[in-house]
Amino acid sequence: AQKVTQTQTSISVMEKTTVTMDCVYETQDSSYFLFWYKQTASGEIVFLIRQDSYKKENATVGHYSLNFQKPKSSIGLIITATQIEDSAVYFCAMREGNTGYQNFYFGKGTSLTVIP
């Protein structure tokens, strides 16, 4: 079963607007960590932002922020004032618990196109 699901395959938005990308996850662990990554057209995969499950405040980094809705097992990525260079594929990921190694589960990605 898919542990991390991104239902939006692709999204197009106008430049300088705000976009939200959805992600839902499944876990039985009381402690888990949620991540968003960006893959550019060149193929480079870059870490953007992280939310720890025990934190109530939504994480924010630059013009990226998260909408963490724990009861809904949802972690949305919000990009404000989108720029052309935000066009990319965005992956949501989850790591469970406090194991001595990391085991990440990735969603299949959402392709974002920012239109000038």
Partner 1 sequence: EAAVTQSPRNKVAVTGGKVTLSCNQTNNHNNMYWYRQDTGHGLRLIHYSYGAGSTEKGDIPDGYKASRPSQENFSLILELATPSQTSVYFCASGGWGGDQDTQYFGPGTRLLVL
Residue 57 or 116: the one with the smaller Cβ distance to partner 1 is 57
Binding site for partner 1 (CB under 8 A): 33, 35, 37, 43-47, 50, 91, 93, 95, 100-104, 106-109
**In this complex, which beta carbon is closest to partner 1, that of residue 25 or of residue 37?**
37
- Return d(Cα 21, Cα 34) in angstroms, integer: 14
- Distance of alpha carbon 96 from alpha carbon 4, whole angstroms: 12
Q: Measuring CA to CA, how many Å separate 110 from each of 19, 64, 79, 89?
A: 12, 15, 13, 5
State which residue, 18 or 31, has the beta carbon closest to partner 1.
Answer: 31
Distances (CA, A) of 58 to 40, 81, 99: 25, 18, 24
Nearest-approach distance from CB 25 to partner 1, in angstroms: 14
